[in-house]
Structure 1
Amino acid sequence: MTLSRFFRMGACSALLLTLAACATPTQAPDYTAFRSAKPRSILILPPVNHTHDVNASNGLVAQMTQPLAEGGYYVVPVTVEMETFRQNGLDTPDDIAQVSAPKLQSIFGADAALYTTVTAYGSVYHVVSSDTVVTASTKLIDLKTGSVLWSGTGTASGRDLGDRPAAGGGVIGMLVSAAVNQAVNNLTDESFRVSRITAERLLRVGPPDGLLYGPRSVKYGTD
């Protein structure tokens, strides 16, 4: 066997291994605790904000009810929840996250709660590009036992909205496009719109690794 043929065979083998790895299906999480708990109602705690944008927590939590409700769950009204916390002297997501699971269960009567962290929220501006990114992670906690039933992550950007103007004209066009995108974001609060897509991806319901369908869904018990 010639040396060149040996290298060609090695390259082909590496390519086949790469394709095989890419084709590996997403491994489903362990739903044993989730199925045992059978949560019917969910409390959405205000996300803890690990970004520099003070609007991150409110911007994301406002978008989180819909995907859960559409997935078949009763969601404790966020406005009622926040007013209850405020009357008890809890005004920040960090303080609220420290309340014990049994205490939350006794106050709101919910079966489970979502503990969420926002790690990216807002515009990212580079020399020749600008985008808006919202990223978060969450855990669904059983309020009776404190155990983790499910966890997920979600991210989206302004490009996912599909209404960005195309850049043209080389570097100058890219610079102009970046400046326009930045101005549009400042005027329309694009982060809030991107949060909707992030919430949908974060709280996806169904296989292969999303939340199980809730009791109000016609698909309840099929996953």
Structure 2
Amino acid sequence: MSTSFSRKRTGVIAGIWVIFIFLNIVGCAKKIPHTLVPAYGEKQVRLIAVLPVTDRTNHPEVGKILRQEIAEALYFKQYPKIPLSIIDEKLAIFYPGVKEPTVQTMPPRDAGAILGVDAVMYIRIEECNSRFVYLYAKSYLNASFELYDVRSGELLWRTRYTATGRDFNIVPEWLKMDAVALYSEVIDEVVKKVMDTLPDGPGL
């Protein structure tokens, strides 16, 4: 009788520990460091234009994919989708020589007036590289993000994240040739972590 009771008590204690560990893990899954303006919801940000990526590392294919995925992520956060091609076409008319806009070369108010949006997002790839060791490749991506109100020029949101990933292929040359596959893991991680810090939009 006592043995049965002891087993039940042990099972209960084990169950409690499992729940405790689970809650502890969930609690540790915090958002990455970021800056968010107080009362963001009162800013009435609905239309966000994702500007071309500023790339300090000469990886245009990575910047292109990163921008596309950020635009898609905004849509799933209830911000209306603005085709990137339309953004580029409009900006090219007024800023033909600016391929990688910054706050200095293309101020938020000017970009907003051209595009007719509520906010503009600047993306900058700080570091992007890969290392190959026989059948493995290690990729690294560090990118920063800033969102500005086009009416006031105020910084609404800012964050930065670094991700690393590994890939494997029995043909080493393929790893070097397929840059999209090599960086897809780190791009996905960066987008997920970054967008978790931005509040949802007002709806489509």
TM-score normalized by the length of structure 2: 0.70
Aligned amino acid, residue 42 of structure 2: S
Matched, 1:51 2:51: no
Kept after mapping to 2: 8 A contact 1:45/1:97: no
Percent identity of paired positions between Structure 1 and Structure 2: 18
Structure 1 residue 109 displacement after superposition = 1.3
**Residue of structure 1 aligned with 2:194, choices 178, 202, 217:** 202
Aligned match of 1:168: none
Secondary structure of the structure 1 residue equivalent to 2:199 = coil
Residue 129 of structure 1: how far off its partner (Å): 5.8
Q: Is the 8 A contact 2:61 2:180 kept in 1?
A: no
Match of 2:201 in 1: 214
Does 2:23 correspond to 1:32?
Answer: no
| Distance in structure 1 (CA, Å) of the matches to 2:111 and 2:66 | 21
Q: CA RMSD in A?
A: 3.2
Q: What is the one-letter code of the residue matched to 1:81? A: I
Q: CA deviation at 1:104?
A: 1.6
AA matched with 1:64: I
- 1:189 and 2:180 matched: yes
Aligned length: 175
Q: Helix, strand or coil: the match of 1:137?
A: strand
- In the alignment, the residues of structure 2 paired with residue 84 and residue 192 of structure 1 have an alpha-carbon distance, to the nearest angstrom, of 29
Residues 46-55 or 125-134, more deviating: 125-134
Q: Which amino acid aligns with 2:188?
A: R
Q: In the aligned structure 2, how far is the partner of 1:102 from the partner of 1:29? A: 20
TM-score by length of 1: 0.65
Distance change in 2, residues 1:80/1:149 (3 Å)? same
Tell which deviates more after alignment, 116-125 or 93-102: 93-102
**Is the 1:158–1:190 Cα contact (8 Å) retained in structure 2?**
no
Distance in 2 (CA, whole Å) between partners of 1:121 and 1:50 is 9
Q: CA deviation at 1:33?
A: 4.8
Q: 1:68 aligns with which of 63, 74, 92?
A: 74
Q: 1:107 to 1:200 in 2, by over 3 A?
A: same
Is 1:124–2:131 an aligned residue pair? yes
SS in 2 for 1:62: helix
**Native 8 Å contact 1:60 1:192 kept in 2:** no
- Superposed displacement of residue 67, structure 1: 0.9
> 1:51 aligns to what SS in structure 2?
coil
Unaligned runs of 5+ in 1: 1-21, 166-176, 205-209, 218-223
1:77 aligns with one of 83, 96, 99: 83
